[in-house]
């Protein structure tokens, strides 16, 4: 019965506070403090693959337990963001008792106003409406490859990359993708001569679709993927009447795509480097 009551409480809080959050951008104060069980804390940090060199930000950090666990277990630096000054004070006292004060800090701030650009891992136990509103901030502010884990609630249209379960708790995981949306132009230095190419990508978080235009042919992208800054896709079609497959892999950085294409079949078989830039 205890677990059933916990689920009921969380659902009620989500319905009530979630609606309040959606009507007010200053949502931190609207999110009730419900503690994350120690077993779930451990699994969240494990699921995020936290390393000593990471910088963990816990949004809505409550009594500081996730921040403290990250510092104590992994030796990483960690930051808690909490709008309730009493909980911030309690967190600082808890960190002192745990002997990790030199590796953690707590900010009394609204989570929507916190600068997250240095974070490599984000953890949170908020509400569905709040999570969904945070998604654009994450995409705009976090570096590609930053990992995000959430206890109990997802981010709406931004589907998780992985999901795991601890007792009655669900933990969601995302990797922030690079922005590769738009049209890209580049040249492929084939041995038979350089050929211009145009790549069009439509992106919705980590979900991609699009096409490649070359030699007057428009080829649909097959299995396009973006994980952090790493982009990959393939195309298939005839070149000079011969079946040809091209496998592209690239790294996105500063709105450029630098990578390599492996061509099998046809007269252009081989490996070629390319450097693509977006159209204005």
Question: CATH number of the domain that 194 lies in?
Answer: 2.40.128.120
The answer to whether position 248 is within a domain reads: yes
The answer to whether position 75 is within a domain reads: yes
pTM for the full predicted model: 0.86
Starting at the earlier edge strand, list the strands of the sheet with 55-59: 104-107, 77-81, 55-59, 121-124, 147-151, 169-175, 162-166
Q: Are residues 130 and 40 in the same domain?
A: yes
Q: Are strands 121-124 and 147-151 parallel, antiparallel or unpaired?
A: parallel
d(CA 21, CA 64): 22
The answer to whether position 8 is within a domain reads: no
* Sequence-distant (≥ 6) Cβ neighbours of residue 245 within 8 angstroms: 234, 235, 236, 263, 264, 265
Largest CA-CA distance found in the chain, in angstroms, rounded: 72
DSSP 82: -
How does DSSP assign 105-127, residue by residue? EEE-S-TTTS--TT-SEEEE---
Which of 120, 148, 175 is where one domain is finished?
A: 175
Residue 4 confidence (pLDDT) = 38
Residue 3 confidence (pLDDT) = 43
Residue 268 confidence (pLDDT) = 86
User: 12 has which bridge partners?
Assistant: none
Q: Are residues 40 and 167 in the same domain?
A: yes
Taking 3-state DSSP, the helix, strand and coil percentages for the chain, each rounded to the nearest 5, stand at 25, 40, 35
Residue 144 confidence (pLDDT) = 97
Residue span of the structural domain in which 230 resides: 182-278
Q: Are residues 215 and 133 in the same domain?
A: no
d(CA 164, CA 166): 7
Q: Are strands 207-214 and 193-204 parallel, antiparallel or unpaired?
A: antiparallel
d(CA 148, CA 86): 26
| Mean per-residue pLDDT pooled into runs of 10, the chain (280 residues) | 40 39 40 82 98 98 97 98 97 98 97 98 94 96 98 96 96 98 94 89 97 92 97 91 93 96 91 94
| CATH number for position 164 | 3.40.50.150
Residue 215 confidence (pLDDT) = 82
Q: Are strands 104-107 and 77-81 parallel, antiparallel or unpaired?
A: parallel
Sign of the Cα torsion 76, 163, 173, 258 reads: positive
């Amino acid at each position: 019965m205890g677990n059933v009551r916990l689920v009921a409480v969380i659902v009620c809080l989500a319905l009530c506070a979630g609606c309040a959050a959606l009507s007010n951008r200053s949502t931190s104060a609207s999110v009730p403090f419900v503690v994350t069980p120690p077993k779930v804390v451990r699994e969240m940090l494990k699921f995020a693959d936290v390393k000593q060199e990471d910088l963990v930000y816990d949004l809505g950090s409550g009594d500081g337990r996730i921040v403290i666990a990250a510092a104590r277990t992994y030796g990483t630096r960690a930051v808690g963001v909490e709008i309730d000054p009493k909980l911030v004070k309690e967190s600082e006292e808890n960190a002192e008792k745990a002997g990790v004060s030199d590796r953690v800090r707590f900010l009394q701030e609204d989570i929507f106003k916190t600068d997250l650009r240095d974070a490599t891992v984000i953890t949170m136990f908020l509400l569905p409406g709040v999570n969904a509103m945070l998604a654009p901030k994450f995409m705009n502010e976090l570096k590609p490859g930053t990992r995000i884990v959430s206890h109990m609630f997802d981010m709406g249209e931004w589907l998780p990359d992985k999901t795991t379960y601890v007792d009655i708790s669900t933990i969601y995981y995302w990797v922030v993708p690079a922005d590769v949306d738009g049209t890209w132009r580049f040249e492929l230095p084939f041995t038979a001569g350089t050929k211009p190419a145009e790549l069009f990508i439509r992106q919705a978080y980590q979900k991609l679709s699009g096409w490649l235009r070359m030699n007057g042919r428009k080829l649909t992208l097959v299995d396009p993927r973006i994980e952090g800054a790493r982009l990959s896709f393939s195309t298939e079609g005839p070149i000079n009447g011969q079946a040809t497959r091209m496998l592209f892999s690239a790294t996105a950085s500063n709105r450029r795509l630098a990578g390599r294409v492996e061509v099998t079949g046809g007269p252009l078989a081989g490996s070629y480097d390319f450097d693509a830039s977006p159209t204005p």
